[in-house]
């Protein structure tokens, strides 16, 4: 097998290794093979036929990589690693090699009717008049966190929320079906008029790749761009809440959005910087389901840092990250709560009450 | 091919089975470093944690005649970590302890796998400066820096890594662990093995621990930029600055091609109509820095600078330094194969050398941009071609052959900071002469009788 990758993309890498310190999986193993540069060398070996898709290490690395794209902003040569990874997984995860869990999730996401079942027949928002802006309801978010879409609607009066939207296809693009992923994004683009606002960093990045950066806004980006100033304040025990942010990888590394959510949080609470807040939480799309052990190895130091920072809430801007943080914090009976940015802002405005942080007394210090 | 099961079992017994890898897919990522076009697949990758483990691996290798290639971050540009004869790649990135940072003695003791940036941060936390500042600092290791004697952006005032190594722990290929130098600035007992090991490119011993000198952190730093119609004008300005008795920390240049590439990439607002720019910076007390930068500015203006500006704040100053640091990657965006080289000539002949490089590029019909350290005559001619155009790559190599020959003619050298590695071994004899090459080989044999350590590099 030769010339499997776009040579323009693959040749861009100058093997300088600047990406190594940014990569969470390299941090776990210290082995080049699980670093961006090493993975690109594996792709080169695939490309030249030195290794094939059945090589155990090649298979392992295609799935061990979080796809967090932390390697992209630090790469001086401008390597579009995310796109290389999609091609790699297209090659790797065909037929029997596709992880079963990923396949199941994708099937659900691709079918609107099934999606509604996951959402327990909840129809979170009615269709509204076509406007210049529409709100996208993330497919899994609808099922897992229907409140997030409702909070977002409250923050964005007047946006259109067409029902039966389907899925943007990000899941497919990241799991070895980039063509279907693209197709789904395009279809969604036709259904949703004007600028598409989403509450999911992962969906935003994928949609922007297919539909163009101009048509896609993540919630925080949209609020800041349209000059919305959040109102009110989030309070805990009679004081202003202390809040940390977990960047969504694809939002930060793919779209370059990281200042906006911070600005919004600072407007309604005390924003606390936590070491490692910009690095992946291990949710990484379907990763936490495909590789639960590695996912927790990535998550644990992050939760330690969040707890040590003494915050009340940690905010996520992506449903996958929210679920990951929430599960992790509950498992360790932390007093810290994970909430979505939309929920935090809605709470400040008096719209929706957040789950209260537990009292610290429960845990020995 | 291959190491034999008994060797692998022994290696596993030394470092633990998790830290030995021999499968095809595990070796491929270690078949390259940052040098384009070179590839050499090892038979095993081994990650030791202690000097004793390193010693045991080397003893085994010497006994069995197995090549061992030490590797830090693999960021070198001279194919120095190429395992072109197979054998073991010995990766030191698990050895990352910062053992001490002493503000009274002004020194730090670190394991070889610590990154340069981590050492600099640990020093800065105590108000101290680790002066060597290679562009690769966030990834390169202190061991790799010492092994290549890395330079950097502060080279003019502060010199290169060599000036900061006080002592080293090194494991010889035969398994002895030696400590050279120590904690002292003054110590002349015996041959200076610390200096010999510095820049030995992993051919004499494996460095496991380094003691490096630190300096008090300068109170302020600032940077300015001067644009010139041509590089010759910039060269004359550099000569004038040095003649004036000013030794700034930083004095870097970019030619017109580099300015264009950097500006396309980083959008710093550099002037594209200039033929060259000089980046100058200094550190120290606020008054002294102000005085030295103002004076450099005056001298540049007197030597036909079109414009001189000083950074108004730290952020702008950092942005200007970033412009210099990103020259290589910015140039790499222009094509798919970027070959960066590293030649040095006596400082006053810098502009002349760049002129000669331009002629050579024209003769071979390749595009070569040049940037570098104007303060110490160290230039990085960089050729960007299409990876799939073999004829062009071939012409580029021939052009570099001429460039090295020209540098030697001008009483310069074939590498100022990146080292010889496998990439430049063919040019080394032209620089050193046959007698010195023979001495190098005798020194190599004294350290490494079986010839197992990084074969095919310096001293081979
Ligand atoms: C974008 C970019 C910018 C750069 N900028 C600079 C610069 O400004 N100045 C500069 O001088 N260089 C620069 N370099 C080159 C490179 O970063 C340096 O040569 C650096 O010192 C290599 O360190 P490393 O840890 O990556 O070593 P490696 O590349 O892993 O090894 C380099 C050599 O040292 C040997 N070695 C490594 N560790 C040990 C050890 N513990 N004991 C014995 N031998 C060892 C290896 O065998 C090899 O010969 C740059 C490189 C890149 C890609
Ligand atoms: S930083 Fe970019 S160019 Fe450098 S090794 Fe990583 S991917 Fe390649
Ligand atoms: S996407 Fe994330 S995990 Fe994968 S190579 Fe890049 S930095 Fe590492």
CATH number at residue B164: 3.30.465.10
Name the more confident of B203 and A208.
Answer: B203
pLDDT in tens, B373-420: 998 899 999 999 988 888 999 999 999 999 999 999 999 999 999 999
* Contact across the interface for B336 and A77, Cβ inside 8 Å: no
Interface test with A, best of B26, B46, B267 (most A CBs within 10 A): B26
- pLDDT at residue A206 in the model: 85
Angle (nearest 5°) at CA A24 between A23 and A27? 90
CA distance A87 to A92: 9
The verdict on a CB contact (< 8 Å) between A55 and B94 is no
Kindly state whether A50 is in contact with chain B, defined as any CB-CB distance less than 8 angstroms: yes
Q: Which residues of A, range 17-46, sit inside 8 Å of B by Cβ?
A: 17-18, 20-21, 30-33, 35, 37-39, 41-42, 45
Contacting residues of A for B265, CB less than 8 Å apart: 78
Are A68 and A24 a contacting pair, CB within 8 Å? yes
Taking CB atoms and an 8 Å cutoff, what residues of chain A touch B29? 31-33, 35, 37-39, 41-42
Instruction: Single out the residue in B216, B245, B280 at which a domain terminates.
Output: B216
Residues A11, B23: C-beta atoms closer than 8 Å: no
Picking from B16, B22, B28, B135 by the largest number of A CB atoms within 10 A of its own CB, the best residue to mutate is: B28
Same domain for B188 and B162, yes or no, is yes
Q: Which ligand is nearest to the CA of B380?
A: 1
Question: B343 and B369, same structural domain?
Answer: yes
Of residues B34, B36, B47, nearest to A17 (C-beta): B34
**Residue range of the domain that includes B303:** 220-324
The ligand whose atoms approach the alpha carbon of B136 most closely is 1
Q: Which pLDDT value is given to residue A197? A: 81
| Inside any domain, residue B309 | yes
CATH code assigned at B418:
3.30.70.2740
CA A175/CA B59 separation, integer angstroms: 47
- Whether residues B79 and B106 share a domain: the answer is no
- By C-alpha distance, the chain A residue nearest B38 is A15
Angle, helices B425-432 vs B434-447, to 10°: value is 120
The confidence score (pLDDT) of residue A129 equals 44
* Ligand 2 center to B33 CA (angstroms): 11
Using alpha carbons, list the distances in angstroms from residue A342 to A233, A317, A322.
Answer: 14, 8, 12
CATH number of residue B257's parent domain = 3.30.70.3450
The answer to the question of residue B449 being in a domain is: no
One domain, residues B193 and B115: yes
Task: Kindly state the tokens that stand for A180.
Answer: 């279907």
Question: Shortest CB distance from A77 goes to which of B138, B333, B388?
Answer: B333
Ligand showing the shortest atom-to-Cα distance for residue B252 = 1
Q: Which residue of A has its CA nearest to B71?
A: A32
| Euclidean distance between CA atoms B365 and B256, whole angstroms | 18
- Separation of alpha carbons A264 and A224, rounded Å: 8
Nearest-neighbour CA in chain B from A360: distance (Å): 32
Please tell me whether residues B137 and B211 are part of one structural domain.
Answer: yes
Q: At what angle do helices A319-331 and A292-308 cross, to 10 degrees?
A: 70
**Tokens standing for residue A365:** 């210090």
- Domain boundary (B306, B324, B342) is at B324
Contact predicate A135/A159, CB 8 Å = yes
pLDDT number for residue A98:
63
| Contact between A7 and B387 using a beta-carbon 8 Å cutoff | yes
Inspect the interface and report whether the beta carbons of A30 and B93 lie closer than 8 Å. Answer: yes
To 5 degrees, how large is the angle CA B301–CA B307–CA B313? Answer: 110
Residue pLDDT, tens place only, A315-348:
998 888 999 999 999 999 999 999 999 888 888 8
DSSP of A105-167? HHHHHH-HHHHHHHTTT---S------SEEEE--HHHHHH-HHHHHHHHHHSTT-B--S----
Q: CA nearest A58 in B: which residue? A: B25
Separation of alpha carbons B332 and B207, rounded Å: 32
**What is the CB < 6 Å shell around ligand 3?**
A 22-25, 36, 39, 65-71, 81
User: CB of B259 within 8 A of CB of B231?
Assistant: no
Helix axis angle, A81-92 relative to A56-64, nearest 10°?
130
Q: Do B32 and A77 touch (CB under 8 A)?
A: no
Secondary structure (3-state) at B458: coil
Which residue of A6, A13, A14, A30 is the best one to mutate when testing the B interface, meaning the one whose CB has the most B CBs within 10 A? A14
Q: How many beta-carbon pairs below 8 A join chains A and B?
A: 101
On the question of pLDDT at B93 being above 50, the answer is yes
**Rounded mean pLDDT for each run of 10 residues along chain A, 365 residues in total:** 83 93 95 98 96 94 94 91 93 69 60 48 41 74 75 81 76 80 80 80 82 82 85 89 92 88 91 92 87 93 93 91 92 92 87 80 45
Helices then strands, each counted (H, E), chain A: 20, 9
pLDDT 10s digits, B340-355: 999 999 988 988 999 9
Q: Is B188 exposed, middle or buried (0-12, 13-18, 19+ CB in 10 A)?
A: exposed
Write out the DSSP string of B346-367.
Answer: -GGGHHHHHHHHHHHHHHHT--
B430 within some domain? no
Q: According to the model, what pLDDT value does residue A144 have?
A: 73
Let me know whether B170 and B208 are in one domain.
yes
Beta pairing class for A235-236 and A242-246: unpaired
Beta bridge partners of A141: none
Tell me, what CATH number does B81's domain have?
3.30.43.10
- Which pair of tokens denotes residue A178? 């980039």
Residue B60 lies in a domain: yes
Distance (Å, whole) CA B433 – CA B435: 6
Question: Could you tell me if B250 and B280 are in contact, meaning their C-beta atoms sit under 8 angstroms apart?
Answer: yes
pLDDT at B73 > cutoff 50: yes
Which tokens in the block code for residue A56?
Answer: 């155990």
Distance from A342 to chain B by nearest Cα, in Å?
34
* Sheet containing strand A270-271, strands side by side: A270-271, A242-246, A313-316, A337-340
Q: Please give the number of the atom of ligand 3 that sits closest to the Cα of A67.
A: 1
Q: Which of A48-52, A131-135, B104-108, B233-237 has the lowest mean pLDDT?
A: A131-135
Same domain, B362 and B411: yes
pLDDT of B425 reads 94
Least confident of A89-98, A221-230, B176-185, B229-238: A89-98
Q: Which of B207, B142, B197, B147 is nearest to B177 (CA)?
A: B207
Give the pLDDT score at A148. Answer: 82
Does A11 contact B336 at a Cβ distance shorter than 8 Å? yes
> How would you classify the pairing of strands B368-373 and B250-255?
antiparallel
Q: How far is the CA of B309 from the centre of ligand 2 (A)?
A: 33
Q: Which residue has the tokens 């004076």?
A: B295
In this structure, are B30 and B135 located in the same domain? Answer: no
Residue A104: what pLDDT? 60
How far, CA to CA in Å, does A189 sit from each of A148, A206, A225, B367?
Answer: 21, 12, 21, 44
| Contact B406/A at CB under 8 A | no
Provide, as residue numbers in chain A, all residues whose Cβ is less than 8 Å from the Cβ of B21: 31, 33
B357 and B288 together in one domain: no
CA atoms within 13 A on the CB side of B54: 30
Residue A160 to residue A127: CA distance in whole angstroms? 7
| H/E segment holding residue A242 | strand A242-246
CA B136 to centroid of ligand 1, rounded, Å: 8
Please count the helices (runs of H) and the strands (runs of E) in chain B: 16, 19
Q: Least CA distance to B326: which residue of chain A?
A: A76
Are residues B347 and B340 in contact, defined by beta-carbon separation less than 8 angstroms?
A: no
Q: How far is CA B105 from the centre of its chain?
A: 27
Q: Distance between CA B140 and CA B128 in Å, rounded? A: 20
Closest-CA distance of chain A to residue B444, Å = 29
Which pLDDT score, from 0 to 100, does residue A363 have?
A: 46
Q: Measured between alpha carbons, how far is residue B164 from residues A49, A208, B150 in Å? A: 46, 49, 11
| Residue B437 C-alpha from the chain's centroid | 22
Q: Helices B350-364 & B390-409, crossing angle to 10 degrees?
A: 150
How far is B441 from B427, CA to CA, in rounded Å?
A: 16
Question: Distance between CA atoms of A48 and A58, rounded to whole angstroms?
Answer: 14
The pLDDT score that the predictor gives to residue B100 is: 97
Helical spans, DSSP H, in B16-167: 24-27, 51-64, 116-124, 142-148, 155-158
A17–B139 CB contact, under 8 Å:
yes
For residue B357, tell me if it sits in a domain. Answer: yes
| Opening angle at CA A239, ends A236 and A242, nearest 5 | 65
Question: Residue B71: helix, strand or coil by DSSP?
Answer: strand
What's the rounded mean pLDDT across residues B48-68?
Answer: 98
Helix (H, G, I), strand (E, B) or coil at B76: coil
3-state SS assignment for residue B303 = coil
B385: in domain:
yes
Cβ distance B26 to A30 less than 8 Å, yes or no, reads no
- From B75, which residue of chain A is nearest by alpha-carbon distance? A16
The answer to whether residue B456 is domain-embedded is no
Indicate yes or no: CB of B387 within 8 angstroms of CB of A15. no
Distance CA A206, CA A254 (A): 9
Is-contact A311 A295, C-beta < 8 A?
A: no
Residue A38 has a CB neighbour count (10 Å cut-off) of: 28
Do residues A144 and A175 touch, judged by C-beta distance below 8 A? no
Locate the ligand 3 atom nearest the alpha carbon of residue A82 and give its number.
1
Q: Which residue has the tokens 């001429």?
A: B402
Q: Give the pair of three-digit tokens for residue B261.
A: 């590439």
Query: Does residue B207 share a domain with residue B273?
Result: no
Whole-number Å distance between alpha carbons of B274 and B263: 12
Q: Which of B177, B195, B216 is the last residue of a domain?
A: B216
Q: Tell if the CB–CB gap between B25 and A12 is shorter than 8 Å.
A: no
Q: What is the ipTM of this complex?
A: 0.93
Same domain, B241 and B267: yes
- B207 plus B103 within the same structural domain: yes
How far apart are the C-alpha atoms of B47 and B35, rounded to whole Å? 22
Domains, chain A, ranges and CATH?
7-97 (1.10.1060.10), 101-225 (no CATH), 235-348 (3.40.50)
Determine the atom of ligand 3 nearest the C-alpha atom of A25.
3
B416 located within any domain: yes
> What pLDDT, on a 0 to 100 scale, did the predictor assign at position A118?
44
Interface contact B337, partner A, CB < 8 A: yes
Q: Kindly state the average pLDDT of the residues B438-453.
A: 97
User: Do B138 and A16 make contact, defined as CB atoms within 8 angstroms?
Assistant: no
Q: Closest residue (by CA) to atom 4 of ligand 3?
A: A65
- Per-residue DSSP letter, B141: B
The tally of domains found in chain B comes to: 4
């Amino acid at each position: 097998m030769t010339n499997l990758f776009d040579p323009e993309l693959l040749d861009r890498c100058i093997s300088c290794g600047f990406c190594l310190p940014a990569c969470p999986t390299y941090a776990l193993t210290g082995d080049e093979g699980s670093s961006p540069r090493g993975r690109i060398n594996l792709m080169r070996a695939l490309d030249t036929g030195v290794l094939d898709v059945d090589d155990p290490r090649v298979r392992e690395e295609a799935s061990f990589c979080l796809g967090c794209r932390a390697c992209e902003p630090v790469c001086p040569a401008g390597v579009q690693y995310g796109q290389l990874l999609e091609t790699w997984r297209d090659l790797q995860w065909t037929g029997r090699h596709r992880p079963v869990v990923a396949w199941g999730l994708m099937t659900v996401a691709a079918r609107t009717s099934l999606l509604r079942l996951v959402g327990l027949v909840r129809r979170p928002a009615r269709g509204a008049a076509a406007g210049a802006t529409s709100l996208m309801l993330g497919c899994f978010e609808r099922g897992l966190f229907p409140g997030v879409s409702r909070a977002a609607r409250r923050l964005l009066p007047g946006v259109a929320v067409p029902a039966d939207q389907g899925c943007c296809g990000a899941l497919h693009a990241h799991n070895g079906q980039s063509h279907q992923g693209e197709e789904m994004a395009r279809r969604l683009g036709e259904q949703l008029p004007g600028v598409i606002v989403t509450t999911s960093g992962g969906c935003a990045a994928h949609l922007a790749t297919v539909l163009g950066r101009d048509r896609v806004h993540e919630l925080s980006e949209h609020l800041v761009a349209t000059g919305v100033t959040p109102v009110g304040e989030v309070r805990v025990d009679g004081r202003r809440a202390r809040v940390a942010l977990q960047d969504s990888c694809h939002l930060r590394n793919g779209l370059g959005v990281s200042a906006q959510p911070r600005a919004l949080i600072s407007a309604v609470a005390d924003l606390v910087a936590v070491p490692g807040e910009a690095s992946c939480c291990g949710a990484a799309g379907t990763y936490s389901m495909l590789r639960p052990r590695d996912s927790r190895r990535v998550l644990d130091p992050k939760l330690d840092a969040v707890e040590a920072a003494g915050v009340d809430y940690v905010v996520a801007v992506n449903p996958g990250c929210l679920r990951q943080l929430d599960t992790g914090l509950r498992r360790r009976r932390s007093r810290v709560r994970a909430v979505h940015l939309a929920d935090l802002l809605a709470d400040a405005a008096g719209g929706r009450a957040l789950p209260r942080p537990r009292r610290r007394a429960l845990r020995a210090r | 091919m291959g190491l034999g099961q008994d060797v692998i079992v022994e290696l596993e017994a030394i470092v633990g089975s998790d830290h030995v890898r021999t499968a095809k897919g595990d070796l491929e990522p270690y078949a390259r470093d940052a040098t384009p076009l070179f590839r050499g697949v090892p038979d095993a990758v081994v990650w030791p944690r202690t000097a004793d483990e390193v010693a045991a691996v080397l003893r085994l290798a010497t006994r069995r005649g197995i090549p061992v290639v030490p590797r830090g971050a693999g960021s070198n540009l001279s194919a120095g970590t190429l395992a072109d004869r197979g054998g073991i790649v010995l990766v030191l990135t698990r050895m990352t302890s910062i053992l001490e940072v002493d503000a009274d003695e002004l020194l730090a003791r670190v394991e070889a796998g610590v990154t340069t940036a981590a050492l600099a941060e640990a020093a800065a936390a105590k108000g101290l400066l680790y002066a060597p500042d290679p562009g690769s600092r966030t990834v390169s290791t202190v061991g790799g820096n010492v092994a290549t004697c890395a330079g950097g952006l502060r080279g003019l005032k502060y010199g290169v890594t060599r000036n900061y190594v006080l002592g080293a722990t090194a494991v010889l290929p035969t398994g002895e662990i030696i400590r050279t130098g120590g904690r002292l600035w003054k110590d002349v007992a015996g041959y200076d093995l610390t200096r010999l090991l510095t820049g030995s490119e992993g051919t004499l011993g494996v460095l496991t621990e380094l003691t490096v000198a630190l300096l008090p952190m300068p109170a302020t730093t600032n940077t300015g930029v001067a644009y010139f119609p041509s590089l010759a004008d910039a060269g004359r300005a550099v000569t004038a600055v040095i003649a004036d008795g000013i030794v700034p920390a930083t004095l870097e240049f970019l030619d017109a091609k580099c300015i264009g590439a950097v500006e396309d990439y980083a959008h710093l607002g550099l002037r594209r109509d200039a033929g060259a720019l000089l980046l100058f910076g200094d550190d120290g007390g606020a008054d002294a820095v102000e005085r030295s930068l103002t004076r450099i500015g005056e001298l540049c203006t007197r030597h036909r600078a079109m414009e001189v500006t000083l950074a108004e704040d730290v952020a702008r100053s950092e942005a200007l330094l970033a412009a210099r640091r990103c020259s290589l990657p910015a140039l790499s965006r222009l094509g798919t194969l970027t070959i960066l080289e590293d030649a040095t000539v006596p400082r006053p002949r810098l502009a002349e050398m760049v002129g000669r490089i331009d002629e050579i590029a024209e003769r071979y019909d390749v595009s070569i941009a040049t940037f570098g350290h104007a303060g110490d005559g160290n230039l990085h001619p960089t050729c960007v071609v299409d990876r799939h155009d073999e004829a062009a790559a071939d012409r580029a190599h021939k052009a570099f052959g001429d460039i090295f020959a020209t540098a030697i003619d001008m009483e310069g050298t074939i590498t100022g900071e990146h080292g010889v590695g496998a990439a430049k071994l063919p040019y080394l004899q032209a620089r050193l002469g046959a007698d010195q090459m023979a001495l190098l080989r005798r020194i190599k044999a004294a350290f490494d009788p079986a010839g197992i350590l990084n074969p095919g590099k310096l001293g081979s």
